Chain A
Amino acid sequence: MADKVQLKTRPSQITAVDDVWLLHFPRFGEEGTHYHTYGMLTPYFRGLGEGRLMATRCVNPRCPISKGHGELWLPPRADCPDCHQPMVWEQIKDPSGYIYAYTHVERGGTGLEIECPYYQVDVKIAGVCTIIKGYLLDRKPIKIGDKVRAGFRTGADATHTCLDIYWELV
């Protein structure tokens, strides 16, 4: 077993329509492919493949919760659930955080693209109001509170999915 978790997948194909990515899910061959849109969250997935973690923030001064100075959302959302106005994109530089919760996945369901076993981790990042789920590259024992930093699968390695961001112990 390698020290680091590997993916056993090939990059998913993408079709671009204007600025939007459609992710291909070839369930029954070419004719039976689902084309799943990333819609207005496309900048997030495009960002991962270029080594950038993009989040969104509500800047509407009339928002009853953010009052114009909201925390970041990750996963991002195009629209604020509290005031329904468009949020703005912002890059999280050198993203790092700590493990808020985790599990050791011994076996996944059919089609899992991550080589088992691995840690699925929920990462709390300062300034982000949500806690994002991901996977850890390291295979050594971990505990809640351990610090992690993000890494990215970029260029030819990018899968164009949420698997393009991973976490490593600091």
Chain B
Amino acid sequence: MIEFQPGNLRVPKWTRPVFMVAAGTTDYRKRYPQKKLEELCMMAFRMLLEENDLKMDPLEVKGLINFACYGEFADHFQDQLLCEAKVHDYLGLDLLPNLGIKTGGATGGSTLLTGAMAIASGMADCALVLGWERMDEVQTWTGNYYIASAACKDFETRLARNYASYYAPMARRFQEMYHVDERVRAAIAVKNRGYAVCSPYAQQAGRHTVDEVLSGEIVSDPLRFLECCAMSVGSAATLLCSEELAFKLTDKPARVYAAGGSHTLRTGDRRPMRIPLLPNETEEDYRELYKEMEKQDGRWPGFESFGATRFAAYMAYRMAGVKNPIEDLDLVETHDAFTISDLQTYGDVGLTLYGKEQDYVTSGECYLINPHTGKQGKCPANLSGGLLGTMHAVGATGIFQAGEVFWQLQGKYDKFHGDPKLWERYGKKKPDDWQSLQVKNPRRGLAISHAGVGSHVVCSILEKA
């Protein structure tokens, strides 16, 4: 719809608060023939139960679980329907109920949202949220076709069969509308792939330069190879609990708020509408932007922005009492499947105003250490390495992001990234130039889980309890 009625903008009110107490993950690889899918899920599940300093034995914790939510993006990558039942059985959770959740690239976030709703409603006191993807049974270009079936089959899929080509027109339009220097996009790839160097889970970490990104092979103009995420295999998990149970399990739980939004599958079908304002914005803030749009035949959200992200943030901020994102959030994980989606998201979630996204990135506030001031950035982004540097095993992605934010809030970045034994577990050596990416005393973090060209988005806020 392009005009909301009062009922459409009701802010979710959960019956009781929801807490995260543990997270787990595998490492991520483009190809992972060493393990079957359910074996990877077991790796993430064991880490969740055994390595989060919970106050009960792992099997006691398992005995508290009464509901499971599983995220998987695409059945056709593995040719396996009901993979949820195989995983559930393999983890030894029969006969408990489970639900399979599917919302494209936002599957992980939607799975987390579903688990949170189970706790919030009283359906469960302890819910496992686990996701996975196995994209290595087919060659990359066939995988690209599979993913492009998330474009419209009747009107779009035949026009590329390569998902980057549905993102690239948005990059082109955004770039021209807001006069973006492509070096800013490239800097995002350099930053996130650079942070991935410090992650033992990362699939394509690397210290690159802006020039290297820009001189790389073009995937779909203007997006270069290093600006795009890759096919990925792995699994991630989190454990959600009621308040009472959360504090029995840990002294450091994180409170969870989550909300979603959705928009058309076809970018071009997004008709113009007014920008739903975040608590820190006024109509006046966008008077010039609307005028500028008129000049350039632009529209909101059009090709430049994600209405679903804005809607999810609109709701989640009101649930969590976030009044001014740049002041109230201490870190963020964006869905940087492409450099352009990272850039676009900063306006959608209100870390800056729409139209100022480029200035926000160049301000350095999205870095752990702001290169201009040498001090911590106001809201470091994708310290996990993001999708560009670390992983996009799609059904796991939103869960992995939330888990990384959770560990940051617990002050456990070093524990989960710096232990040489952890690197050895995945057959890697901890790099000599490893450095801690722990944010100093973070209170609140945000994770954006995002599908398609913006068809589904879940915005999750984690807050130190």
Q: Real complex partners, A and B?
A: yes
A→B interface (CB under 8 Å): 36, 38, 41, 64-65, 75, 81-82, 100-114, 120, 122, 124, 129-135, 144, 161-163
Taking A109-B142, A120-B165 as given, write out 9 further A-B residue pairs in contact, using a Cβ cutoff of 8 Å, ordered by the A residue number. Answer: A110-B161, A112-B162, A122-B303, A130-B269, A131-B303, A132-B155, A133-B156, A133-B159, A162-B158
Going nearest first, the 4 A-B pairs with the smallest beta carbon separation are A109-B161, A131-B268, A103-B168, A109-B145
Q: In the assembled complex, which residues on chain B have CB atoms less than 8 Å from the CB atom of A114?
A: 158-159
**Minimal beta-carbon separation of A72 from chain B (angstroms):** 12
Instruction: Report the separation of the CA atoms of residues A105 and B221 in the bound assembly, to the nearest whole angstrom.
Output: 7
A-B contact pairs, 14 of them (CB 8 A): A82-B1, A100-B303, A101-B173, A103-B168, A105-B160, A107-B162, A112-B145, A112-B162, A130-B266, A130-B271, A133-B159, A133-B169, A134-B159, A161-B158
| Size of B's binding interface in residues, CB under 8 A | 42
Asked if residues A104 and B2 are in contact (CB atoms below 8 Å), the reply is no
* Contact of A64 with B3 in the complex, beta carbons under 8 Å: yes
Q: Does B291 contact A (CB under 8 A)?
A: no
B443 contacts A by Cβ under 8 Å: no
Cα distance, A61 to B361, chains bound together (Å): 47
Instruction: Name the residue of chain A whose CB is nearest to the CB of B167.
Output: A103
Closest beta carbon of chain A to B65's beta carbon, Å: 39
Q: Are B145 and A110 in contact (CB under 8 A)?
A: yes
Q: Are A102 and B169 in contact (CB under 8 A)?
A: yes
Q: B267 in the interface, Cβ–Cβ < 8 Å?
A: yes
Which of B158, B172, B269 makes the CB contact (< 8 A) with A144?
B172
Contact A133–B153 (Cβ < 8 Å) = no
- Across the interface, do B154 and A75 meet the contact criterion of CB distance under 8 Å? yes
Instruction: Give the nearest-CB partner of B269 in chain A.
Output: A130
Q: Choose from A75, A109, A162 the contact partner of B148 (Cβ within 8 Å).
A: A109
Q: Is B219 an interface residue (CB 8 A)?
A: yes
Chain A contacts of B269 at CB under 8 A?
Answer: 75, 130-131
Min CB gap B101→A, angstroms: 25
Cβ B170 vs Cβ A101 within 8 A: yes
Q: Which of A103, A132, A133 has the most CB of B within 10 A?
A: A103
The answer to whether B165 and A103 have CB atoms under 8 Å apart is yes
Q: CA–CA, A111 to B303, complex, Å?
A: 27
Q: Does B161 lie within 8 Å of A41, measured CB to CB?
A: no
Chain B residues with Cβ below 8 Å from A129 are 271
Find chain A residues with CB under 8 A from B266 CB. 75, 130, 133
- Complexed CA–CA distance, A52 and B147 (Å): 31
Cross-chain contact B155 with A101 (CB below 8 angstroms):
no
Contact of A105 among B3, B142, B156, B165 (CB under 8 A): B165
CB-CB under 8 A from B1, the residues of chain A are 81-82
Query: Are A110 and B141 touching (Cβ within 8 A)?
Result: yes
Q: B142 — which chain A residues lie within 8 A by C-beta?
A: 109-110
Asked if A102 and B172 make an inter-chain contact with CB atoms under 8 angstroms apart, the answer reads yes
Shortest beta-carbon distance from B459 to chain A in Å: 24
Per-residue CB contact flags for chain B residues 253-281 toward chain A (1 = under 8 Å, else 0) read: 00000000000001111010000000000
Q: Which of A104, A112, A130, A131 makes the CB contact (< 8 A) with B221? A: A104
**Closest A residue by C-beta to B161:** A109
Question: Do B297 and A109 have beta carbons less than 8 Å apart?
Answer: no
Contacts of B222 in A (CB 8 A): 103
Among B145, B154, B176, find the residue whose CB has the most chain A CB atoms closer than 10 A: B154
| CA gap between A129 and B153 in the complex, in Å | 21
- Asked if B66 is at the interface of the complex by the 8 Å CB criterion, the answer is no
A120 touches B271 (CB 8 A): no
Is the CB of B218 closer than 8 A to any CB of chain A? yes
Query: Smallest distance from the beta carbon of A18 to chain B beta carbons, Å?
Result: 19
Our pick among B145, B159, B173 for the contact of A100 (Cβ within 8 Å) is B173
Partner of B169, one of A41, A112, A120: A120
A107 to B165 alpha-carbon distance, docked (Å)? 9
Cα of A108 to Cα of B142 in the assembled complex, Å: 10
- B220 CB-CB contact with A under 8 Å: yes
The yes or no answer to B144 lying at the interface (CB within 8 A) is yes
Contacts of A122 in B (CB 8 A): 169, 173, 267-268, 303
For A102, what are the chain B residues with a Cβ–Cβ distance below 8 Å?
Answer: 169, 172
